[in-house]
Structure formats: C-alpha cells, structure tokens
C-alpha cells in the first residue's frame, strides 16, 4: 500500500500560478509569485528558491504552507524538532512541490512523511554523523598523510640540522667573530639575492600592469548558466561586525538562489551566536555551529563546514571582508578559462583603513606589493602561490582531494597553496579586490606576525621533511619556490635581530661609516 495524497490545494481560487498557488493569499500575493517565477527562469532555479533567497518568504513559512497544502506534518512544529520512529524526512527546499507530492505518494503504508527546512535536515544529518564529521575535520589529513600535517613535529634530522647550525654560529661568534662574520655574510648573500630577484620580478609585474591598457574584460555569462557557489565565513568573537558582514555578503553580484553563505561559528561563542539570532538573515545565509572538540582553529571550522557544501565551488572570507561585487563571476571565468588544472583562484586583498595610523599604512604598502605584484609575478614564473587566508576560491573536489585545511597549521592557507602545487594543480590570481581592516594597535600586529612566523615555520618543516625526497616530490619549481618564499621569510626574520644589533654596535663604536670598514660590515648594512 502507498500513501494516498490529494492534489496541491490553492489558498485562493484566483491564484493561477500552478503548483505554487497554495502560497497566494497565505504568505505572498500573486504578483510577487509571478515575479519570482520570472526570476527563476532567468536564474534556472526553482521559484521557491527565489522567494526564500530574496527574503520574500521565510523558509519556515514556505514549509508550513507546503505541509498544509499537502496535508503532511512539518518537523518545525515540534518542540524538539526530532524525527520520530517510522517517519521519512523530506527536504522541502530540495524539490518542486509536485515532485514532493509524487514522492510522498510512493511512501509505503506504515511510514509517515514529514517536511523539513534545510537547517532541520542538516541537524538530523549532523545528529547521526557529528562525531565522525568533527573527527574527520581534525584528523582527516593526519590519517590520510601524517607527514603532510603540522601535527607531526619536526623530523629528527631537521632538529639536528637546526641545532647544529645554531651551535656552529654561536660558537664561532664567541670564539672568532672576525672570521665567522664575513663567512656568514657571504652565505646570506645568495638567499637574500633570490629574495631581491623575486621582488624585482614583482616590481616588473606592477609596471607591466600599469602599462596595460586595462584589465581583461569579463565575459558576460547568463545567470542561468552560472553554477551554484558556496561561501564559508568563519567567525569567532565577531558579534559587533556581524551586521556589516551580512551587508557585505548581500552585496555580492551573483544569483542569491545559487549562492549559499555559511557563517561558521564555534559552539562556545555565545555572543556571536546571539548576535546572529537577533538578525533577520537573508534566505541564503545560514549559521553552522562547530562542536567543541580538538583545536579551536579556523582550518578545523572550515573542514567541518566543507562537509555541508554541495556546490562545485567554494570561497573563504573573513568576518571583516568586503569583496568587490563581481568577484565570484571573475573567479568562475578564470576557472573556466584555465581548465581542470586550476584548483584555486586568489583574489587581491586591500586595506580600507589605510588612514588610521602609520601601521595601517605599512599594511597597505605590504598588501599592494604582495597581492598586486609578488603573487602575479609568481603566477607568471610558474611558481607555487602561498594563499592569502581569505578570498580563496576553490574547486571543491580538488580541495577535498588534497585533504582540505590542516587544523594544526596556523598558516593553513600558505600550506594549502603548496599542497595544491604538490598535487600538480595551479593557483591563479584575479584582478578583483577584497577590502579588509588592518590592525592599528602594535600588540595586535605583534601577535599576528608571531602567528604568521610560526605557521611559515610549520609549513617549511612539513614540506621539507623528506630531505632530498622533497625535491623529487615537489618538482624543481615548487621546491625552489618553497625555499625562496618560506625559507627566505624565515631567514629574514631570524637574521634581522642579529643584523640590527650588529649595526647598532658598529654605529656605537664608530666603525659603521669608517673609511676602512671591512667588506662584511658593508654587506651587513646592505642586508
């Protein structure tokens, strides 16, 4: 025996809008429904997706109206919103009303259909799989490839080499500084020369862009041909800027029924959760709560939310980000033009509070150099691109293939860029900007830079663990890029304190500008 269910019942005899007629007079008028139907044709989506995405009807109202029209229950009516024994949960959002009606009619007698919103379907899914999902978010990369995760500490040989170099340097300086100093300066010249050459290439790229007559024209793609896209926005203690975030996401130029925005929250972050609960969120923006287990890190939260993504493309934004409206369309055009080997597209990052002090201005200069010059230069040279932490657009299948983000690496973005290159994929940059806020307090800057240095060290150790085998696994270009980019930044950070102390000492003794200054002293100043 099958369920017996009658036709969809309209709320008004005057409503002539087909299978959605039950909405007219109950939640919307006929004119609004007809407009939604026209937009649905333009976007190649279902009419109720348009109604919900544009905020013309709440998803819960839609499910309640559909349940009343079909004569079946809705999960949201229950206090606990739990699935009962013998019940078949049906996502009201996933199908047309007529398709749902047909499926309900096929349910055997003894089982009861019950409708649910997307959040309710996710909750049921998570209830049965939450432990496995959070475990995969934390340990997935580690289990698949332990040496690719920063959880796996430095190899014994790496620790011995580092200790040996430090011991030789300190011992040499203590015993014979006049011999060791020139030798060290000579050794440092080569890696710093590579860094200088890279920055020269970045300068050339900036000049090339300035001479260009304009950016590449964006080919107009009909909305009906655009694929579905997801955005992940991890939040932690961001209650004050949640309204600005929602406004920035709503300004993205993409069919809202095809764009799903997941705000990823920590379970312990009650302030941000309450701030979101107090907002009337657009229908395409949903919160996702990450359970309290393992490290409380951005990559863990992203891995957890990634399992809810059903789109072929996903982008990561930070809470304070303001992406230019055309960014998703430009990223998609780059993916399409570049082919399947393009796994990631990095948008430029810019600073919108450059006038808020000296530190913010330095950030502006640094970001302009990095995202407008160095990263495009790396792309032209065919070198790997360490990602920028936000405004990274991915092909979801490629992202999952390389293991997602490493929850134990505090610069998971840079690490992921090298893992993508290691897997044979490319990252491209696009000339569209995401604006964000630079720290203006010295303490915030120090904490940020300390975290970055730690992450760069983790990334460098992870991708050099196999010694000579790392070169074979990475290939010459990626291997060289790793040493110049990660190694160069780490070497610079380690050397500069000693250089500054030495320069201060030479200036104090009067030897710095002396006519008979030794060559190593001149090299020291140059470095």
State CA 454 to chain mean position distance: 20
What architecture is the 193-212+228-492 domain classified under in CATH?
Alpha-Beta Complex (3.90)
> Would you say 454 and 493 are in contact if contact means Cβ atoms under 8 Å apart?
no
**How many Å apart are CA 459 and CA 481, to the nearest integer?**
13
> Mean pLDDT across the stretch 371-376?
89
Distances (CA, A) of 285 to 54, 85, 247, 302, 417: 11, 31, 11, 16, 28
Higher-confidence position of 179 and 444: 444
Higher-confidence position of 205 and 25: 25
Distances (CA, A) of 476 to 18, 124, 383, 464: 62, 48, 10, 13
Pick the most confident of 129-138, 176-185, 211-220, 387-396.
Answer: 387-396
> Would you say 246 and 276 are in contact if contact means Cβ atoms under 8 Å apart?
no
Domain borders along the chain are 18-116, 193-212+228-492
Residue 225 has a pLDDT of: 95
Least confident of 117-131, 380-394, 442-456: 117-131
Let me know if 354 is exposed, middle or buried by CB neighbors in 10 A (0-12, 13-18, 19+): middle
Residue 513 phi, psi dihedral angles, 5° rounding: -105, 15
Residue 310 has a pLDDT of: 92
**How many Å apart are CA 18 and CA 111, to the nearest integer?**
29
Evaluate if residue 518 carries a pLDDT over 80. Answer: no
> Mean pLDDT across the stretch 440-451?
90
> Mean pLDDT across the stretch 229-257?
96
Task: Provide, rounded to the nearest whole percent, the portion of the chain with pLDDT above 70.
Answer: 90
> What are the pLDDT digits (tens) for 18-29?
899 999 988 899
> What are the pLDDT digits (tens) for 274-333?
999 999 899 999 999 999 998 889 999 999 999 999 999 999 999 999 999 999 999 999
Evaluate if residue 34 carries a pLDDT over 90. Answer: yes
> Mean pLDDT across the stretch 332-351?
95
> Mean pLDDT across the stretch 56-77?
91
Q: 3-state DSSP call for residue 116?
A: strand
Evaluate if residue 510 carries a pLDDT over 70. Answer: no
Least confident of 43-52, 64-73, 498-507: 498-507
> Would you say 346 and 430 are in contact if contact means Cβ atoms under 8 Å apart?
yes
Evaluate if residue 184 carries a pLDDT over 90. Answer: no
Residue 1 has a pLDDT of: 41
Report the side by side order of strands in the sheet with 229-235.
Answer: 285-290, 259-266, 229-235, 313-316, 392-395, 342-351, 426-436, 322-323
- Exposed e or buried b for every residue in 448-463, given b needs 16+ CB within 10 A? eeeebbebbbbbbbbb
Handedness of CA 219, 223, 229, 235 (dihedral sign): positive
- Place 168 in a pLDDT band, splitting at 50, 70 and 90: confident
Residue 179 has a pLDDT of: 74
pTM attached to this predicted model: 0.88
Higher-confidence position of 343 and 119: 343
User: Taking the CB of residue 327, how many other CB atoms lie within 10 A of it?
Assistant: 23
For 37-88, what is the HEC assignment? HHHHHHHCCCHHHHHHHCCCCCHHHHHHHHHHHHCCEEHHHCCCCCCCCCEE
Evaluate if residue 252 carries a pLDDT over 90. Answer: yes
Least confident of 86-100, 194-208, 251-265: 194-208
User: Taking the CB of residue 12, how many other CB atoms lie within 10 A of it?
Assistant: 14
Residue 4 has a pLDDT of: 47
Mean residue pLDDT across the chain: 86
């Amino acid at each position: 025996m099958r369920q017996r269910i009658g036709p969809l019942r309209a709320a008004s005899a005057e409503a002539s809008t087909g299978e959605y007629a039950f909405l007219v007079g109950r939640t919307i008028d006929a004119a609004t429904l007809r407009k939604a139907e026209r937009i649905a044709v333009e976007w190649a989506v279902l009419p109720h997706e348009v109604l919900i995405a544009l905020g013309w009807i709440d998803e819960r109202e839609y499910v309640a109206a559909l349940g009343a029209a079909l004569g079946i229950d809705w999960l949201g009516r229950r206090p606990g919103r739990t699935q009962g024994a013998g019940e078949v949960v049906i996502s009201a959002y996933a199908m047309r009303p007529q398709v749902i009606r047909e499926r309900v009619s096929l349910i055997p007698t003894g089982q009861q259909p019950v409708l649910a919103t997307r959040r309710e379907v996710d909750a049921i899914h998570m209830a049965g799989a939450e432990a496995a999902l959070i475990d995969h978010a934390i340990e997935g990369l580690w289990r698949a490839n332990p040496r690719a995760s920063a959880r796996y500490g430095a190899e014994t040989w790496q620790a011995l080499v580092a200790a040996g170099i430090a011991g030789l340097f300190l011992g040499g300086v203590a015993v014979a500084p006049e011999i060791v100093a020139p030798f060290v300066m000579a050794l440092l010249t080569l890696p710093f020369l590579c860094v200088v050459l890279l920055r020269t290439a970045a300068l050339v790229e900036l000049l090339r862009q300035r001479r260009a007559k304009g950016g590449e024209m964006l080919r107009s793609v009909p909305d009906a041909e655009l694929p579905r896209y997801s955005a992940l926005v991890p939040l932690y203690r961001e209650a004050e800027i949640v309204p600005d975030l929602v406004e920035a996401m709503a300004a993205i130029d993409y069919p809202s029924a095809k764009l799903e925005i997941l705000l990823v929250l920590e379970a312990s972050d009650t302030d941000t959760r309450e701030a979101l609960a107090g907002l009337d969120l657009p229908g395409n923006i949903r919160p996702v709560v990450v359970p309290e287990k393992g490290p409380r890190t951005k990559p863990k939260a992203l891995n957890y939310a990634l399992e809810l993504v059903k789109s072929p493309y996903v982008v990561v934004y930070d809470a304070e980000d303001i992406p230019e409206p055309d960014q998703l369309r430009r990223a998609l055009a780059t993916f399409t033009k570049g082919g399947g080997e393009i796994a990631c597209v990095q948008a430029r990052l810019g600073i919108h509070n450059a006038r808020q002090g000296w530190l913010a201005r330095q950030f502006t200069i640094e970001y302009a150099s990095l995202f407008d010059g160095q990263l495009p230069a790396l792309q032209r040279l065919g070198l790997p691109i360490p990602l920028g932490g936000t405004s990274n657009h991915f092909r979801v299948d490629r992202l999952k293939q390389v293991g997602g983000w490493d929850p134990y690496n505090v610069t998971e973005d840079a690490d992921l860029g090298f893992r993508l290159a290691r897997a044979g994929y490319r990252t491209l940059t696009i000339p569209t900007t995401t604006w964000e806020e630079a720290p203006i307090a010295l303490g915030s800057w120090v904490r940020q830079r300390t975290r970055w240095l730690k992450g760069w060290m983790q990334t460098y150790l992870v991708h050099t663990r196999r010694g000579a085998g790392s070169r074979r696994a990475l290939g010459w270009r990626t291997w060289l890029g790793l040493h110049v980019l990660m190694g160069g930044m780490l070497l610079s950070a380690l050397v500069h304190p000693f250089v500054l102390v030495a320069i201060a000492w030479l200036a104090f003794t009067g030897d710095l500008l002396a006519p008979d200054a030794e060559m190593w002293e001149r090299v020291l100043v140059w470095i």
